[in-house]
Chains A and B, each alone.
Chain A
Amino acid sequence: MRKRLCGIGMICVLAGMVATAPAAMAGPTERYLHVKVEDASKGESVNVNVPLSMAEKILPTINKGDMHNGHVKIGHADMDDVDIRALLDAVRTAPDNEFITVKEKDQDVRVAKSNGNLVVHVRDGNKGGQKVDITVPMKVVDALLSTAKDNELDVSAAIKALSDAGDSLLVTVEDASQHVRIWVDSKGGQE
């Protein structure tokens, strides 16, 4: 009786292993960066879908201008002497908080760190009620700063981090007629 139970147990374990093997053996799910621009007033739309694995492989091969081996050089002169790397590093190490809040009659700007994301909200009543929402996972910011050189950002590592970060809506821009969305998910199409 005991031997039979032991045998049944072994069969169950083997069946379980066989059932879960394909999932374990399957490679990581492909993730796509989607860009959608719609202009309702003109009836125009542009959709672009880029597999992140492709971006990851292509970026290190581009060696032109400030881009080399997946890194982009940032000069202080281009940023009006703002040290973008130090700025991002300060945000990265700071706790969740609202960093900037500007409220004017027609404008509302908010920059915050919340739930592991860097969040930027802009509402502009002057530009036809334009709304801009940007959400960047802090893991992506970490990856951007992962290079040892002070004047460089590691775009390749940021793409990899974005791929690992899961489905996320990165950017939305809306005004009276135009709608822009940038997001990452595992669907090859946008429908």
Chain B
Amino acid sequence: MVLFGKIVLGVVGTAVAGVGLLCSEGLVEVKVEERQPQVHHLCVIAPAMLAPIAVHFAPQKDLSHAAAEIRPWMPTIRAALDQLRENDDMTLGQVKEPGERVRVAKEGGSIVVEVEDKDDTVHVSTPIRAISSTIEQLAAAGPAL
């Protein structure tokens, strides 16, 4: 009985540690609300850590091209993300047209993009830490310079 308890505790402990590790970079949240022709709600919440991991599985040929494009801009991207992390919550940009609205904001430790038109509303929230590590992975993916 004691042995069984230890095994259960071990399994639960490992699961909790695994979930904790997976969620250490925060969560990516995608919400889609369709209003026409029928009302649909879709909400996907995924650990942000999956994004940098997914970069490892992308085709090397495509990654090399992306890496070559992004590398010269890495100091600028790093500076921008570091500053964004330190800044207070704010709307960075907003475009409004009749029936349409796009908003990019910093909320908490995440970058939030909201797109709204007469048919749909899409809300994507991505932790800045996850954006940073994904871009770093992407830049490191190509052949060494």
Contacts and interface: CB of A to CB of B under 8 A. Distances in A.
A31 to B, nearest CB: 11
A54 B98 contact: no
Nearest to A64: B72
B90 A43 contact: no
Interface in A131-158: none
A61 B72 CA distance: 10
Nearest to B83: A54
- Per DSSP, chain B at the interface is mixed
A57 B78 CA distance: 10
B103 to A, nearest CB: 9
Contacts of B2: none
B75 interface: yes
Interface stretch (A44-52, A81-89, A118-126, A174-182): A44-52
B96 interface: yes
Contacts, number: 62
A15 interface: no
Nearest to B74: A61
Interface residues on B, range: 20 to 34
A188 B83 contact: no
- Per DSSP, chain A at the interface is mixed
Contacts of A53: 83, 86-87
A42 B94 CA distance: 16
Contacts of B89: 188
A9 interface: no
What 6 pairs between A and B have smallest CB-CB spacing?
A188-B90, A54-B83, A61-B75, A61-B76, A47-B94, A43-B98
22 contacts: A43-B97, A44-B97, A45-B95, A46-B95, A46-B96, A47-B95, A49-B90, A51-B83, A51-B87, A51-B90, A53-B87, A54-B87, A57-B80, A58-B76, A58-B79, A61-B76, A61-B78, A62-B76, A188-B89, A188-B90, A188-B91, A189-B90
